[in-house]
Chains A and B, each alone.
Chain A
């Protein structure tokens, strides 16, 4: 399937490990979350090229202690209306400071491309239903955001003159 990163189609270097396949002597593989512990046990220290595929009903807290050894996390959209992966991405990227690739897979729509970027997703496995141009133009269809700490890719946030401490009684009584 085509993969979009940095608003371009890129060669997908990753392979999903099939059920029953061994991870031994492999690289650039994405393993199901259920097999992560097992694969990591045999994974040589310092080796890169490992990723995990996370179901959208999984608790991503179980990933936290492994993230340093992973290069990619793939998150799933069974349908575009199921928004759990937005929070999974945000938790992994923002709370756990994951610096690798977060890839979205499944039935999300171009209209969600901007929100996904803002939530921390930076790789998109897409079908050929929509053109690259169609995806890209949705990145900043609404070019301004109220969520300062989610803003990515040049989205405008409200400019402030100066920083300030939290006021004692900021509104009128």
Chain B
């Protein structure tokens, strides 16, 4: 019998304490389900309890959202996700924009058993929904990116623990999302989160954090404001506690759609909000500083860099292959990224096949990536905010083999960061809130734009699709955003242009009247072709839009009507 043992990547591991905590939470949830079934608690009372364990009631079935803390997981964990997909779902799962995975066909009576399976590999669904602090997200390239100041994941884990079943902050006005970046090139969209944290170095080389508050998407998209330019790392949890307390006490609860912290910051004004936080921060006793420090040191020890080899930065074989094989060259350009260590590369597996459902992963694909990570990436995998998977530490010399194997599993579409790399919500095909379908629109656009050569010619372009104004597909920050709405029983799609979740974040602007379901893909093509006609040498889509505004695109789309 083949007893394959996966390498254990350097990532946070549960100790006895964490295990006890998660096991007890699973048992508590089992008890809550039993009390709902025997009528001890009402459906209204049960709902937040199940949501705080990631269990939604969707259009056709229950959906379970499993946390992948800050997007980092081991191949062993990925294999268990594949097992869950086979045993309890229909053989697939769906990567989410907050680096989690959703299973869309779950039965209520199986939920606690699934949580047990997850607990066995140190995973859970705690706080993946509900009006509480959600999974902390970060750069999918953390610990690997050439441009980062330091690995942000120890701080993410510190926040994960601090926010888990927080006695004071579990019944907030609304959901609460924190994103962290350790790189000046923001790949974690920190400016569109409730709290964004950006690492900076001061003149003395010490690490500190810029605190941004009040960003978000949904019905009222807003860019976060900086409330602190520089916070000592030692002050991070007390400061976050102060922000949460101000929000919990005075965040609006009269209207669900005005309950996010962005509305509070907007209505109070950034200065008054910041003053309230600083007052709270100054007054609250500081008893946990040493505990936090010890904990951060303890956590950090798990994130030691892997045993990198000393390698040559350039591999002749790869350079030759690049020249000889256009397919490989394009894959290399789009799907790999610069690693901080010479001779290594960051490799993305694209879950965006032409005509496919963005972010859907079959159990076979999950196992394939797990096996590749075992062989080529220290057993480590990341879920990206764009709904793909990343192998963070691949030897550049292995790239041809990895590419060949990804191709076999349909995971080598050379479209990361290009128009084919569509971010989409599940839309009306699954979601109880949606007003329009998004998946078929994504499928048609990616079919029409399937020509990889043209995608590379178009260059970096983020296309985001949401099936309702709640904006789970992040259309507000798409370079091209599509919002599906219901108009008298017909699906209509509005186009927004110019959004971005990167460092210089912006909210996209609506271009004009919407398009029918049969017109929207053609309209997107027109927008792209217009860009190709008016761009200057070396100019990316977003730059062209920012230079010229909406006029040429409006002209192309609406002038003939």
Q: Which positions in A face B, CB cutoff 8 Å?
A: 59, 80-84, 86-88, 90-91, 94-95, 109, 111-112, 114-116, 118-119, 141-150, 156, 158-160, 162-173
Interchain CA distance A84-B45 in the complex, whole Å: 18
Q: Decide: A169 and B17 in contact? CB cutoff 8 A.
A: no
Interchain CA distance A42-B24 in the complex, whole Å: 51
A109-B45, A111-B32, A159-B17 are known contacts. Are A172 and B166 too (CB-CB below 8 A)?
no
Interchain CA distance A165-B233 in the complex, whole Å: 13
Q: Decide: B253 and A82 in contact? CB cutoff 8 A.
A: yes
Cβ–Cβ < 8 Å partners of A162 in chain B = 294
Interface core residue of B31, B162, B164, B169 (most chain A CB under 10 Å): B169
Interface residues of B in 165-180 (CB under 8 A from A): 165-172
Q: Mark B185-207, 1 if CB is under 8 A from A, else 0.
A: 00000000000000000000011
A86-B248, A159-B17, A164-B290 are known contacts. Are A147 and B300 too (CB-CB below 8 A)?
no
Interchain CA distance A166-B292 in the complex, whole Å: 8
Which of B24, B150, B151 sits near A143, CB closer than 8 Å? B24
A83-B248, A84-B249 are known contacts. Are A160 and B171 too (CB-CB below 8 A)?
no
Cβ–Cβ < 8 Å partners of B32 in chain A = 111
Interface core residue of A143, A145, A146, A163 (most chain B CB under 10 Å): A146
Min CB–CB distance A77 → chain B (angstroms)? 9
B325 is an interface residue with CB less than 8 A from chain A: no
Chain B residue nearest in CB terms to A138:
B28
Q: Decide: B28 and A170 in contact? CB cutoff 8 A.
A: no
Interface residues of B in 1-51 (CB under 8 A from A): 15, 17, 20-21, 24-25, 27-28, 31-32, 41, 45, 48-49
Q: Decide: A95 and B285 in contact? CB cutoff 8 A.
A: yes
Q: Which positions in B face A, CB cutoff 8 Å?
A: 15, 17, 20-21, 24-25, 27-28, 31-32, 41, 45, 48-49, 131, 143, 149-151, 154-155, 161-162, 164-172, 206-207, 233-234, 245, 248-249, 253, 283-285, 287-300, 303-305
Interchain CA distance A149-B241 in the complex, whole Å: 12
Interface class of chain A by DSSP: loop
A95-B285, A144-B20 are known contacts. Are A167 and B293 too (CB-CB below 8 A)?
yes
Interchain CA distance A156-B28 in the complex, whole Å: 16
Interchain CA distance A168-B208 in the complex, whole Å: 11
Q: Decide: B165 and A142 in contact? CB cutoff 8 A.
A: yes
A-B contacts counted at CB < 8 A amount to: 147
Cβ–Cβ < 8 Å partners of B285 in chain A = 94-95
Q: Decide: B248 and A84 in contact? CB cutoff 8 A.
A: yes
Min CB–CB distance B244 → chain A (angstroms)? 8
Min CB–CB distance A99 → chain B (angstroms)? 14
Interchain CA distance A128-B154 in the complex, whole Å: 46
Which of B21, B48, B151, B253 sits near A142, CB closer than 8 Å? B21
Which of B15, B41, B169, B287 sits near A109, CB closer than 8 Å? B41
Min CB–CB distance B373 → chain A (angstroms)? 20
Min CB–CB distance B47 → chain A (angstroms)? 9
Cβ–Cβ < 8 Å partners of A115 in chain B = 165, 167-168, 170
Q: Decide: B284 and A171 in contact? CB cutoff 8 A.
A: no
Which of B27, B41, B151, B289 sits near A172, CB closer than 8 Å? B151
Interchain CA distance A80-B131 in the complex, whole Å: 12
Cβ–Cβ < 8 Å partners of B131 in chain A = 81
Which of A119, A150, A165 sits near B293, CB closer than 8 Å? A165
Q: Decide: A171 and B151 in contact? CB cutoff 8 A.
A: yes
Cβ–Cβ < 8 Å partners of A111 in chain B = 32, 49
Which of B25, B151, B170, B296 sits near A83, CB closer than 8 Å? B170
Cβ–Cβ < 8 Å partners of B154 in chain A = 170-172
Min CB–CB distance B159 → chain A (angstroms)? 11
Q: Decide: A172 and B293 in contact? CB cutoff 8 A.
A: no
Interchain CA distance A170-B207 in the complex, whole Å: 10
Top 7 A-B pairs, shortest CB-CB distance: A83-B171, A118-B167, A173-B150, A115-B167, A171-B154, A171-B300, A166-B293
Interface core residue of A109, A145, A172 (most chain B CB under 10 Å): A172
A141-B31, A172-B304, A173-B150 are known contacts. Are A146 and B290 too (CB-CB below 8 A)?
no
Q: Decide: B249 and A171 in contact? CB cutoff 8 A.
A: no
Q: Decide: A119 and B24 in contact? CB cutoff 8 A.
A: no
Min CB–CB distance B32 → chain A (angstroms)? 7
Q: Decide: A146 and B245 in contact? CB cutoff 8 A.
A: no
